[in-house]
Structure formats: C-alpha cells, structure tokens
Amino acid sequence: MTIALEQVFAEALGIDIGGVSDGLAYNSIPQWDSVAHMGLIAQLEDHYGVLLDTDDIIDMSSVGKAREILAKYGASL
Amino acid sequence: MQMVSQTRISPRQQRQWFTVTRERREQQHWVLWCKGVRTGYVNLKGEYQGELQGQAIADAGLYLGNSTVRHPMLAVAAALSQLDQGFDRLNIGCIRTLVRENNSSALRLNEQLGYRLIGQECGFFALELLPADYYAARERLRRFFR
C-alpha cells in the first residue's frame, strides 16, 4: 500500500494532514524542528524503503523538496 | 538556540569581549561554518581558571544565526562537534548548559543528546551531560551523518 507523502509528514510532525502542502518548510511551524526532522527522515526511509544520503537529509527543507528528493530515489509517492 | 543575554551589544563591547576572551585559557570558542558561510557559534567554558583540558565541569553555549545556509540538521551537527571536542579531545568530566524554559526545540534536542535536567531557575532549565550518556546518544544521532 502506498502512503501519501502528506500522511507521512503529518504523522512525523504531529500535525493535521490539512496543514501539509508542498510549501510547508522546516522551521515554518514549531513542530518541524531538528529533532522532528530526524524522526521525519526515519519515517520516510521506512515508508519508502530508501536510505537517504546526508546531503539529501540536509536539503530536505520542505515538503516539495522532499517530493523531489524521494522521486530521485525512485520512491512511489 | 537563543542567547542567555538578549541585550544589544555594541561593536566596542564586542571588541572588548574578543580581546578578553582570547586570553582566557579556561574557555574555547568556535565559529560554525557551513558551505563557506559563518552560521553560528559554540563555546565551552571551564568552571575554574586555567586550562580547559581535563576540567571536571564546563558550561556549553551554542547559537545559530539566520543564515542562508541554515538547514534542519545544523543544530545537531553543531552540538555533536561541540560535545566531541568537549569529551573526546578536552576530556571534560561533565558539560552543563542553560536553556530558556520556552525554547522547546533546544530542550528536545538536548534531551536527544543525553542531557538530564538538574534544576530550574529564573526562566531557565539547567541541564547536565555525562560522557556515557552522550556516547549512547551519539550512536543514535550519527546515523543521520553517513
């Protein structure tokens, strides 16, 4: 079963899925801080079966950017 | 991360601070660079005058500015670098820090780094980190730097 990227973000950040859009960025909401980012990365890797490079972990600063990076790994979004 | 003092610092005060600070052997200060941009600052300050190396207790400070290169893992990388210096190279016995009570992000990060709460006063939490707790935490955090 493919889980929508928005759902993974909502669960990892503990926010309503309605608040997740491609424009949602790191530090734009209190829930998305450094610790939440590490949890988010772990959940994305689990859900999509990928192992992200450090540069991609660092660059994943918005939902839109995450979509772009995960597509590079062949993830089914 | 937020400075303990929030008052404005004049250029003259900053130069005076720099002159005095570079003579103090019980303190070490580092500028954080990311992709060629100065993006923050960390320090370690021993509780006694004399060499910082081997001191039983040191206070830690970590500050990030709003630079163009700031990223979600910058605070983690900065803290790991600071604590590696403190425990691995300087052999400090215990590192303490103060965090504003309303700075939930810093509190959450420090908890992940292995810090434990030892007190609360004047709007700040006092936290303490022992080497064994840090090394256990470091193993979990290092997986994000491959």
pLDDT score, position B1: 57
Considering only CB atoms, A34 lies closest to which of B76, B145, B146, namely B76
Closest CA to A2 of A51, A42, A49: A49
**Structure pTM?**
0.90
pLDDT score, position A76: 82
- Please count the residue pairs, one from chain A and one from chain B, whose beta carbons lie less than 8 angstroms apart: 46
**Has residue B10 been placed in a domain?**
no
Mean pLDDT of A41-64: 95
**Has residue B3 been placed in a domain?**
no
Note whether A60 contacts B72, CB cutoff 8 Å: yes
**Has residue B41 been placed in a domain?**
yes
Note whether A38 contacts B108, CB cutoff 8 Å: no
Note whether A33 contacts B109, CB cutoff 8 Å: yes
pLDDT score, position A69: 97
Both tokens assigned to B2: 């937020």
Beta strands B116-121 and B94-100, pairing class: unpaired
Note whether B72 contacts A58, CB cutoff 8 Å: yes
**Has residue B107 been placed in a domain?**
yes
* CATH homologous superfamily of A5-72: ACP-like (1.10.1200.10)
Q: Where are the alpha helices (DSSP H) in chain B?
A: 11-21, 74-84, 104-112, 131-141
- Per the structure, how many domains does chain B have? 1
**Has residue B111 been placed in a domain?**
yes
**Has residue B2 been placed in a domain?**
no
**Has residue B42 been placed in a domain?**
yes
Per-residue pLDDT tens over the stretch B64-113 = 998 888 899 999 999 999 999 999 999 999 999 999 999 999 999 999 99
Note whether B109 contacts A59, CB cutoff 8 Å: no
Mean pLDDT of A12-25: 95
Interface of A with B (CB under 8 A): 26-27, 30, 32-35, 37-38, 41, 51, 53-54, 57-61
pLDDT score, position B66: 87
pLDDT score, position B22: 87
pLDDT score, position A3: 67
**Has residue B102 been placed in a domain?**
yes
Per-residue pLDDT tens over the stretch A29-51 = 999 999 999 999 999 999 999 99
Closest CA to B70 of B113, B31, B33, B108: B33
3-state helix, strand, coil split of chain A in percent (to 5) is 55, 5, 40
Q: Rounded CA gap, A35 and B105, in Å?
A: 8
Q: Is the ipTM of this complex over 0.90?
A: no
The CATH number that applies at residue B35 is 3.40.630.30
The whole-chain average pLDDT of chain B stands at 94
